[in-house]
Amino acid sequence: MDSRDPQEMDPGIRVIQAIDTETDTTLGSLISWGNHPETLWSGNLLISSDFPHYIRESVENGIQKDKTALAEGIGGTAVYISSSLGGLMTTRPSFSIPDPFTGELLTGATFEKAQAQGQQVGLLILRALQADDAVEIEKGNIRLLAKTISIPLANYKFKLGFALGVINHGITEWMKVRTEVSAFQIGPASFITVPGEIYPEIVNGGVVSPPGQDFEISPLEVPPLRSFMPGEFKFVLGLANDEIGYIIPKSEWDEKPPYLYNDDDSPYGEENAVGPEAGPIVYGELRKLLENFK
């Protein structure tokens, strides 16, 4: 679910299966989906990979319980990468997930619900890989571009964390953080790496200038990044090579009243972002890399 307006999501689950051409066995798989791995919610005090563990387990080993098997696994090593999940894509305790074996609707913040969620996503992936429209790629050229960038650090809590050594990231220039973006292509599949949690509207479209915005500007991060990505299959890899927090469209930035859409409170996101310039800078630098592919 999208917990912040505008209601823009990246619902696609993207997957690649790498197969050994000599043995016809799976070497591994890459799975990308835009949803915070926080189904266990804030009360969980255990270290856990949340629902991605059950996605990987399902894809590798299949989905079975007692004598009931819903799908066979493909083997190999499954790697899960979060996609565009800012804005904020999450699974709240009140949101129900059906148990794939019994159909029981599971709510709350439990491991049983996280397992059911991972198994349901795993079922979708395994069925997609077996579908008639799955595309086989035997060979493809590889292209890669990367760039180091600097973003102004405006978040005073982050500044304090840097000063106290709580955040060990480093600052370049005066109050700027260094990070990186990249774009690469393998045959008909293209990829961009994003150093944080990017809002889906920057990727897929739908950036708005809502009432209550801190900056009275039109959307800057347009057209969407996916429109510049080459090939048939377009992967967005979030939290890739860095974590600078949320990457928010500048026209949707909101720390001061009046708040967006005349709400009583400020929206969640800005408090965990380096600042309002992150959105247009990350967007602009990725767009330049993608335009150099052409």
| Per-residue model confidence as pLDDT tens digits over 60-82 | 999 999 999 999 999 999 999 99
Question: pLDDT grade, residue 109 (50/70/90)?
Answer: very high
Task: Round to whole Å and give the CA distance between 129 and 135.
Answer: 9
Task: Round to whole Å and give the CA distance between 157 and 162.
Answer: 9
Question: pLDDT grade, residue 115 (50/70/90)?
Answer: very high
Task: Judge whether residue 24 has pLDDT over 90.
Answer: yes
Task: Round to whole Å and give the CA distance between 60 and 54.
Answer: 10
With beta carbons less than 8 A apart as the criterion, state whether 233 and 188 touch.
yes
Q: Which helix (H) or strand (E) holds 287?
A: helix 278-292
Question: pLDDT grade, residue 294 (50/70/90)?
Answer: confident
With beta carbons less than 8 A apart as the criterion, state whether 129 and 26 touch.
no
Model pLDDT, residue 258: 93
The residue with greater pLDDT, 174 or 80, is 80
Question: Which residues lie closer than 8 Å to 66 by C-beta, 6 or more apart?
Answer: none
- Partners of 68 in beta bridges: 65
Model pLDDT, residue 8: 92
What's the chain's average pLDDT? 95
Task: Judge whether residue 11 has pLDDT over 90.
Answer: no
Model pLDDT, residue 162: 86
Strands 176-186 and 171-172, by their bridges, are antiparallel
Strands 142-152 and 176-186, by their bridges, are antiparallel
Helix (H, G, I), strand (E, B) or coil at 118: helix
